[in-house]
Amino acid sequence: MHRKEQAVTERVVLAYSGGLDTSVAIGWIAEETGAEVVAVAVDVGQGGEDLDVIRKRALDCGAVEAEVADAKDEFAERHCLPAIKANALYMDRYPLVSALSRPAIVKHLVAAAHRHGATTVAHGCTGKGNDQVRFEAGIQALGPDLKCIAPVRDYAMTRDKAIAFADKAGLPIATSKKSPYSIDQNVFGRAVETGFLEDIWNAPIEDVYEYTANPALPREADEVVITFEAGVPVAIDGTPVTVLQAIQQLNERAGAQGVGRIDMVEDRLVGIKSREVYEAPGALAVITAHQELENVTVERELARYKRQVEQRWGELVYDGLWFSPLKRALDGFVNEANQHVSGDIRMTLHGGRAVVTGRRSEQSLYDFNLATYDTGDTFDQSKAQGFIDIFALSSKIAAKRDLA
């Protein structure tokens, strides 16, 4: 007598936030695919509920297993820190708040998929944003054997359908309150879009902000000294900190001064322009300090070339190519360029601005005796004329031809 073999049920790993959409997605995916769902929640500093509460909700909503990970330190050290070293600002303004968190989450999703024998990874992104690309490009890079699905995009899981599904199934999730905004946040900052902000003539109101106080309110200025070693923030006002603690403390102090508000129309990867409101007080304060310390410690030609690398690095991360060969190669350059970026930067935080007021470094390339115009100047000005003649020679020869 032959034993009947038991059919193996497919498994899907779902990037789980604990909110309405991903809670509904657990049952939705099961109905659409017949697969079991393993929920994975990754804490990158977004705040909100306790991880154990989120894990229990996932199980109550039908997940066969649920995992939670406190990845705040990992996110700060492996994702935010490289952005700080690269002075990464997409379109010269946006410190890549959401773009940095996606590859951090992806690593946990792919690892969970392999642990649980899943064949597919699911996420809650729409079909018109950047995050679908960031998730799926990352998943393909780390788990090329895995498939990807997005219930909102692939199965038309609209919000009204999600609410109806949750009510019918009696899911333990509030469905009545709907924020007028779409919000994504983590320890590096906060992104707000949709609602009345989609009319780009409308100014943001104070209700939009959470990480920053109104910069117009009168208050005393805050002076802070940030210490770096090889591009890494290691102390605030002389007290040692981890990268996570540096960002958190600057979020609090710079945020209290209204530093870090950004209102921009952004070029999305999918080809549309999108109005985004960001607040990233810690990110902008630490990047401002890091940029100034580089001005003191990085040689001119290296600094000029690094600015080109910074732009490309930021574009790659924004576009979801964190795990690409070019991004890895540029990381090597950025780390080498930060070798001597050590010292202290003093900043005044006030009125929505982080202003550098002092710099000191044992690795400094600033030579007072070369720079001064007073007695003690060691710069030999007699050599300047010959330098200018040779430097401008090719332009002079071309001018003789063109003006003839």
Distance separating alpha carbons of residues 75 and 73, to the nearest angstrom: 5
Distance separating alpha carbons of residues 27 and 30, to the nearest angstrom: 5
Band (194; pLDDT cuts 50, 70, 90) = confident
| pLDDT at residue 216 is higher than 60 | yes
Name the residue ranges covered by the structural domains of the chain. Answer: 11-178, 183-298+340-360, 374-402
Which positions make up the binding site for L-citrulline? Answer: 94, 130, 134, 182, 266, 278
The residue among 1 and 283 whose pLDDT is bigger is 283
Which positions make up the binding site for ATP? Answer: 15-23, 124
Given this chain, do its domains 11-178 and 183-298+340-360 carry the same CATH topology?
no
Active site (annotated) includes residue 21: yes
Active site (annotated) includes residue 131: yes
Which positions make up the binding site? Answer: 15-23, 94, 124, 126, 130-131, 134, 182, 266, 278
Residue 248: which residues within 8 A CB-CB, separation 6 or more?
45, 187, 282
Selecting among 55, 57, 131, 319, the annotated active-site residue is: 131
Active site (annotated) includes residue 361: no
Amino acid letter, residue 132: Q
* pLDDT for residue 277: 97
Selecting among 167, 182, 367, 377, the annotated active-site residue is: 182
Active site (annotated) includes residue 102: yes
- CATH architecture label of 11-178: 3-Layer(aba) Sandwich (3.40)
What mean pLDDT is reported for the chain?
Answer: 93
Selecting among 11, 102, 253, 275, the annotated active-site residue is: 102
* pLDDT for residue 177: 53
| pLDDT at residue 393 is higher than 90 | yes
| pLDDT at residue 131 is higher than 50 | yes
Task: Give mean pLDDT, residues 200-204.
Answer: 97
Distance separating alpha carbons of residues 138 and 103, to the nearest angstrom: 6
Looking at 61-177, list the stretches that DSSP marks H as alpha helix, in order from N- to C-terminal side: 72-75, 81-85, 97-116, 131-142, 151-154, 159-169
Q: CB–CB of 228/343 below 8 Å?
A: yes
Per CATH, the homologous superfamily of domain 183-298+340-360 is Argininosuccinate synthetase, chain A, domain 2 (3.90.1260.10)
